[in-house]
Structure 1
Amino acid sequence: MALGAAIRTARKHASLSQEALADASGIDRSHMGKVERGERNVTILNVIRIADALSLEASNLLLSAGL
């Protein structure tokens, strides 16, 4: 849940819609929504894809989630 919240915060900071982030990271939009809500686990590969789409380092995204 913390990772999903960190992704949502970073997405909003980047002024991206959930759909735009999903497209940029190659992840289905409905899956992205579930990740942000903490309903789905996310693989490390998808964390890297999301971080890249947000122009962040994956480690920084994980740190902002407290992981």
Structure 2
Amino acid sequence: MSDELIVFLRTHRKQAGLTQKELAAAISVSRKTINTIENGVFVPSTILSLRLAHVLGVEVAQLFALADPPESLDLSSD
């Protein structure tokens, strides 16, 4: 299993008609923070991910995905 993260932030930001600077201002971070997230250099915290999703009107799972997600666990009892 790989821990590589696929980032869809740029796509959703552009669909919302926002620049990196505007999105950064909306969640109180720097433009560079948005840039590094979009380029996969920085993985945001849960709180930051939730703020991004809220401003963009999407779920966090629409912004980020694992390149190689783990298989589902069978939690059924026998």
Question: Given the two structures, how large is their TM-score scaled by the length of structure 2?
Answer: 0.69
| Aligned residue among 11, 24, 27 for 1:25 | 27
2: distance between equivalents of 1:43 and 1:13?
A: 23
Question: Is 2:45 the counterpart of 1:51?
Answer: no
Matches within 5 A, 1:3-42: 3=7, 6-42=8-44
Unaligned segments of structure 1, at least 5 residues: none
Q: Secondary structure at the match of 1:16?
A: coil
State the 1:55 CA deviation: 1.6
> Would you tell me which structure has more helix in proportion to its own residues?
1
CA RMSD of aligned residues (A): 1.7
Unaligned segments of structure 2, at least 5 residues: 70-78
2: distance between equivalents of 1:59 and 1:29?
A: 22
Q: Secondary structure at the match of 1:2?
A: strand
Retained in 2: the 8 A contact 1:26–1:49?
no
Structure 1 range deviating more: 7-16 or 23-32: 23-32
> Would you tell me which structure has more strand in proportion to its own residues?
2
State how many pairs are aligned.
63
Identity among equivalent pairs (%)? 30
State the 1:58 CA deviation: 2.2
